[in-house]
Amino acid sequence: MYLNMHIYQTLFFVLREIDVVAKSFKKFAIFATFSVLSGGLAQAQDAAKGEMVFKQCMTCHRIGPDAKNAVGPALTGIIGRQSGTAAGFAYSPINKAAGENGLVWSNELIMAYLPDPNAFLKKFLTDKGKADLATGSTKMAFKLADEQARKDVIAYIDKFSEKK
């Protein structure tokens, strides 16, 4: 009788543990699914908001499969592209020099560039030991300080990058 009680108790304990594990796994699965879904959604929203922000860039830039250079170079495929290399665009010497000295645009670098393009290019060249080339100024006479706006516009631009 005592042995039976013991077995029942053990069995009860084991079943309860299985239940706890199963429940927490379920919670985790729900949480994981939700995270993935909301993550995807957040990104889509960023790009949609970024399209609105990009209207400011459109004073000078175009983007998309048929985009041509305008006041500024076409930005299709800008992420992953060497700075100053849009075909047929007459860049300022400083923008071109940065590219020739290793500037390849990434999301992070455009993030750092937008608040002050001229300062960014000067610092880039100076850090590369090319202070002599860090002269004159970029033709990109536009600054975007707002962090969220920069994130959103980059999410939008990223949709047109080569790797996609």
Q: Using CB under 6 A as the criterion, which residues of the chain lie in contact with ligand HEC when the complex forms?
A: 56-57, 59-61, 71-73, 75, 78, 83-84, 86, 91-92, 95, 105, 110, 114, 138-142, 144, 153
Helix count and strand count (H, E) for the chain: 5, 0
How far is 45 from 63, CA to CA, in rounded Å? 19
Q: Token pair for residue 98? A: 């940065």
In the bound state with ligand HEC, the residue whose beta carbon lies nearer, of 4 and 65, is 65
In the bound state with ligand HEC, the residue whose beta carbon lies nearer, of 44 and 104, is 104
Closest CB 149 distance from ligand HEC, rounded Å:
8
Q: Tokens 């994130």, residue?
A: 151
In the bound state with ligand HEC, the residue whose beta carbon lies nearer, of 47 and 153, is 153
Closest CB 41 distance from ligand HEC, rounded Å:
23
How far is 68 from 86, CA to CA, in rounded Å? 10
In the bound state with ligand HEC, the residue whose beta carbon lies nearer, of 71 and 131, is 71
Closest CB 129 distance from ligand HEC, rounded Å:
21
